[in-house]
C-alpha cells in the first residue's frame, strides 16, 4: 500500500504540503486539474501494529461523508479505497479548529454564547441527517468565513441507517475521554443526546477554563461520571450567569432523559437566555455531598445501560421545537381557540415538544403608534400578557414554553425569519377567512408556507363558523 508524501500523485490528486499530522491520520493540501477549489486529503495512519480501530474508523467515515450535505459538514469530493491508498478528499475550510480558542478559555461571555450557539446549530443539522457524532470536541469544529460551524472527523460516528461497524467489531467504548457521555462508556452508541452531553462539556470548558471531569487518561476513570457530578461553573467563577450554568448542567445530566432532548431545544435556550427556567441546577454553588454521591454510586455501580432511545428520526420528531403564531385580534378569537386545540392534539403525540408562542406587531402603520394601544397601554406588554393567557390551557411546564413578541412591517417575513434563526421544526398558525383583497394580495399564511424551510400547519375556521364570526 502506498504511503502519502509530498509530490505523490494518486487518482489525479497531487499532494502538496502536510497540514496536520495526528495519531490516526495526516491531512495534506491537494490539487486536481478538474477541481479549482481549495482541497485537502485525509489519509489514515496505518502502521505495522494493531491498526484495526483506525481502519474501521476510516471505513465508517467513508460510508457517512457521502450521505451528508449542507454548510455544516465539509463537502466531499473523492474517496480512495485500501487497495492502493485510502483517502478522503474534501473542500478546505479556511481557518483553524476551535482548539486554539478553547485553549485560551475562559472565554468572554458574548463570544462563548455565540460560539456555543453555532456549534449547537451544526450538531442539530447533523442529527437531522441521521448522524450522531460521538466524538465532539473543540478540535472537531471548524468555522467558515460566513460563520457556520463545520463538524469534522466522523470516524467514531453512528449513522442511524447504516451498519455500526465499530459496535460490531469492538467491545470497548470509544471517544475522547473528557467529553464522552456516560452511556457511551456503557457502549450505547445510538443516542443523539450523547452529543448534547459533549456540547455541555465543551461549553463548561469555555466558561471556566477547566474540563468538567478533568482529563482522564484511562477508561476506568470515565466510569466515575455515572455518579460524580462536576464542580458547578459558578463555583469556579461566580460571574457566570445562572442561566448559563442551568444550560450546562442540564446538558451534563447523567441520565439522557434528564438532558435536553434535542440540540434544537438547547439552541433555543442559548439564543433566549431571559426565558431559561432556573432550577436548583442554575443556583448550585458546590458539588453534591458524600451521601448523595454514595446513593448514586449504589444505584449506578451495576448499571448496564440506560433506557434505549427511539431511532434518531423518532428522537427528533418526539422533541421538536414547535412555533405557534397566534393572531390575538378580537375578531380572531374563534380561530385562536381552534389553534389551541390543534396544538394540544399535536402535543399528545409529541410529549417532549417545546412550544414557542409568537405574536407579530405590524409596524409602520401611518398615523398609528405601534408601541401603544388605543387606551395608551404599552402594546408589546399587553400582547405578551395576552399570549401567555392564550397558552395557559396547554398545561406545559415553564421550561417547555416560551413567548416572543416580534415587530415587523411584514408579519409573514417576521415568522419565517424567526423560525429559521431558532431552528424551529414546525410552524403552526391560523389563516383568516377568504376575501377579495387576500386573494389578490396574498395572505400571511400562504407566504409562510411558500418561504419557510420547515413544515407548516395552517388552521382555518370552517366556512360556517367564519361567516358567523364575520
| Stretch among 44-53, 254-263, 370-379, 449-458 having the lowest mean pLDDT | 370-379
Assess whether pLDDT exceeds 60 at residue 114. yes
Min mean pLDDT across 134-143, 213-222, 256-265, 395-404 is at 395-404
All three cell numbers of 354: 417545546
State what percent of residues in the chain have pLDDT above 90.
59
Contact indicator for 461, 433 with CB cutoff of 8 Å: yes
Comparing CA positions, the residue from 113, 95, 112 lying closest to residue 104 is 112
Closest listed residue to residue 413, CA positions, set 456, 365, 360: 360
Beta strand 455-460 with 9-10: parallel, antiparallel or unpaired?
Answer: unpaired
* pLDDT at position 217: 86
Q: Which residue has the higher pLDDT, 169 or 278?
A: 278
Residue by residue, what is the 3-state secondary structure of 424-458?
CCEEEEEECCCCHHHHHHCCHHHHHHHHCCCEEEE
The string of pLDDT tens digits covering residues 67-110 is: 999 999 999 999 998 888 999 999 999 888 999 999 999 999 99
Residue 436, pLDDT > 90, answer no
What's the predicted TM-score (pTM) here? Answer: 0.82
Residue 226 has pLDDT above 90, yes or no: yes
pLDDT, residue 377, reads 58
**Measured distance CA(172)–CA(166) in Å, rounded:** 9
- Residue labelled with grid coordinates 409602520: 364
d(C-alpha 48, C-alpha 427), whole Å? 55
Q: What's the alpha-carbon Rg for the chain, to the nearest Å? A: 25
Q: Pairing mode, if any, of strands 149-151 and 141-143?
A: antiparallel
CATH 3.50.50.60 fits 9-91, yes or no: no
**Mean pLDDT in residue range 311-325:** 79
Residue 113 host element (H or E): helix 109-128
**386-434 per-position pLDDT tens digit:** 898 998 888 888 778 888 889 898 999 999 999 888 888 899 998 876 5
Domain 99-315: CATH architecture, name and number where available: Orthogonal Bundle (1.10)
Please name the residue ranges forming H helices in 230-378.
233-236, 242-251, 263-271, 280-283, 290-300, 312-318, 333-349
Sorting pLDDT into bands at 50, 70 and 90, what band is 442? low
Look up cell 394540544; give the residue: 344
Q: pLDDT by residue (tens digit) across 332-359?
A: 888 889 999 999 999 888 878 889 899 9
How far apart (Å, rounded) are the C-alpha atoms in residues 257 and 163? 25
Domain ranges within the chain, ordered by starting residue: 9-91, 99-315, 320-469
Percent of the chain whose predicted confidence (pLDDT) is above 70? 92
Assigned C-alpha cell, 109: 461571555
Given this model, what pLDDT does residue 398 score?
74
Distances (CA, A) of 296 to 188, 227, 233, 362: 20, 5, 21, 53
Give the pLDDT of residue 172.
81
For residues 331 and 142, give the distance between their C-alpha atoms in angstroms, rounded to a whole number.
Answer: 50
pLDDT, residue 373, reads 53
Is 470's pLDDT higher than 50?
no
Strongest mean pLDDT among 114-118, 222-226, 439-443: 114-118
Q: In b/e form, how buried is each residue of 419-450, taking b as 16+ CB within 10 angstroms?
A: beebbbbbbbbbbbbeeeeeeeeebbbebbbe
What are residue 36's phi and psi, to 5 degrees?
-85, -25
Categorize the per-residue pLDDT at 368 as very low, low, confident or very high, splitting at 50, 70 and 90.
Answer: very low
Taking only the tens place, the pLDDT of each residue in 250-283 is: 999 999 999 999 999 999 999 999 989 999 999 9
**CATH architecture of the domain formed by 320-469:** 3-Layer(aba) Sandwich (3.40)
Amino acid at each position: 500500500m502506498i504511503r502519502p508524501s509530498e509530490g505523490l500523485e494518486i487518482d489525479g490528486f497531487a499532494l502538496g504540503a502536510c497540514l496536520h499530522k495526528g495519531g490516526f491520520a495526516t491531512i495534506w493540501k491537494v490539487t486536481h486539474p478538474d477541481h479549482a477549489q481549495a482541497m485537502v486529503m485525509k489519509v489514515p495512519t496505518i502502521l505495522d501494529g494493531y491498526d484495526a480501530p483506525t481502519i474501521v474508523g476510516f471505513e465508517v467515515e467513508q460510508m457517512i461523508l457521502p450521505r451528508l450535505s449542507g454548510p455544516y459538514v465539509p463537502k466531499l469530493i473523492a474517496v480512495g479505497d485500501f487497495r492502493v491508498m485510502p483517502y478522503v478528499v474534501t473542500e478546505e475550510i479556511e481557518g483553524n479548529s476551535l482548539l486554539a480558542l478553547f485553549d485560551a478559555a475562559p472565554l468572554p461571555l458574548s463570544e462563548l454564547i455565540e460560539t456555543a450557539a453555532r456549534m449547537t446549530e451544526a450538531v442539530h443539522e447533523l442529527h437531522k441527517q441521521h448522524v450522531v457524532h460521538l466524538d465532539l470536541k473543540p478540535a472537531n469544529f471548524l468555522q467558515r468565513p460566513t460563520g457556520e460551524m463545520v463538524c469534522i472527523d466522523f470516524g467514531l460516528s453512528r449513522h442511524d441507517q447504516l451498519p455500526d461497524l465499530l459496535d460490531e467489531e469492538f467491545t470497548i467504548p470509544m471517544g475522547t475521554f473528557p467529553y464522552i457521555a456516560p452511556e457511551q462508556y456503557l457502549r450505547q452508541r445510538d443516542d443523539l443526546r450523547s452529543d448534547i452531553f459533549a456540547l455541555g462539556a465543551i461549553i463548561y470548558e469555555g466558561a471556566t477554563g477547566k474540563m468538567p471531569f478533568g482529563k482522564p487518561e484511562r477508561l476506568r476513570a470515565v466510569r466515575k461520571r455515572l455518579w460524580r457530578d462536576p464542580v458547578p461553573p459558578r463555583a469556579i467563577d461566580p460571574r457566570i450567569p445562572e442561566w448559563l450554568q442551568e444550560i450546562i448542567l442540564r446538558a451534563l445530566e447523567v441520565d439522557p432523559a434528564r438532558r435536553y432532548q434535542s440540540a434544537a431545544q438547547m439552541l433555543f435556550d442559548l439564543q433566549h437566555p431571559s426565558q431559561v427556567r432556573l432550577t436548583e441546577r442554575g443556583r448550585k454553588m458546590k458539588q453534591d455531598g458524600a451521601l448523595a454521591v454514595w446513593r448514586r454510586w449504589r444505584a449506578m455501580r451495576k448499571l448496564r445501560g440506560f433506557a434505549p432511545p427511539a431511532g434518531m428520526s423518532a428522537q427528533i420528531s418526539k422533541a421538536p421545537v414547535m412555533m405557534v403564531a397566534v393572531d390575538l385580534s378580537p375578531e380572531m378569537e374563534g380561530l385562536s381557540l381552534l389553534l389551541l386545540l390543534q396544538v394540544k392534539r399535536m402535543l399528545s403525540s409529541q410529549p417532549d415538544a417545546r412550544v414557542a408562542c409568537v405574536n407579530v406587531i405590524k409596524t409602520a402603520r401611518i398615523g398609528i403608534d405601534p408601541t401603544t394601544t388605543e387606551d395608551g397601554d404599552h402594546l408589546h406588554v399587553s400582547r405578551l400578557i395576552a399570549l401567555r393567557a392564550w397558552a395557559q390551557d396547554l398545561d406545559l411546564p415553564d421550561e417547555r414554553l416560551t413567548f416572543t413578541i416580534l415587530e415587523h412591517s411584514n408579519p409573514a417575513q417576521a415568522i419565517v425569519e424567526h423560525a429559521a434563526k431558532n431552528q424551529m421544526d414546525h410552524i403552526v398558525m391560523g389563516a383568516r377567512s377568504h376575501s377579495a383583497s387576500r386573494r389578490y394580495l396574498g395572505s400571511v399564511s400562504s407566504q409562510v408556507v411558500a418561504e419557510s424551510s420547515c413544515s407548516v400547519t395552517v388552521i382555518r375556521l370552517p366556512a360556517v363558523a367564519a361567516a358567523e364570526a364575520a
